[in-house]
């Protein structure tokens, strides 16, 4: 059985997956939510795949080059800067 994330609205732990909309629907309150909705990246306009790719790119870099990250993922320098800042802050808090 797949463990789905808790509903950010009511906290219930079970949800249906709606594959056509790439979202989840809570079994208790029937509200829709995504995997990003309860994370630090809920306001980011990029997908979780892009965030994971940037995280892997940061881990493989010796020296952090935000301009290169922005070009690679079609982000502005400012958008790449703030996304990298969020990723690094999250990594620090997990350690």
Q: Which residue has the higher pLDDT, 3 or 71?
A: 71
Select the highest-mean-pLDDT range: 9-18, 21-30, 37-46, 74-83: 74-83
Phi-psi region of 39 (alpha: psi -120 to 50; beta: other; left: phi over 0): beta
Residues in contact with 14: Cβ distance below 8 Å, sequence separation at least 6, in sequence order = 4, 26, 27, 28
Residue 71's pLDDT is: 92
* Of the candidate ranges 39-43, 66-70, 82-86, the one whose mean pLDDT is the lowest: 39-43
pTM of the model: 0.62
| Mean pLDDT, range 35-41, rounded to an integer | 74
| Mean pLDDT, range 39-49, rounded to an integer | 77
Mean residue pLDDT of the chain comes to 84
Residue 22 tokens, joined? 């790439």
Please answer whether residues 70 and 78 qualify as being in contact, where contact means their C-beta atoms are separated by less than 8 angstroms.
no
């Amino acid at each position: 059985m797949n463990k789905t994330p808790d509903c950010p609205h009511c906290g219930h732990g079970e949800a249906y997956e709606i594959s056509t909309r790439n979202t989840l629907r809570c079994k208790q309150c029937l509200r829709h939510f995504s995997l990003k909705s309860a994370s630090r990246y809920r306001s980011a306009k990029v997908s979780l795949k892009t965030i994971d790719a940037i995280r892997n790119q940061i881990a493989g870099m010796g020296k952090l080059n935000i301009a290169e990250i922005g070009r690679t993922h079609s982000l502005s320098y400012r958008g790449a800067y703030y996304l990298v800042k969020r990723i690094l802050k999250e990594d620090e808090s997990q350690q």
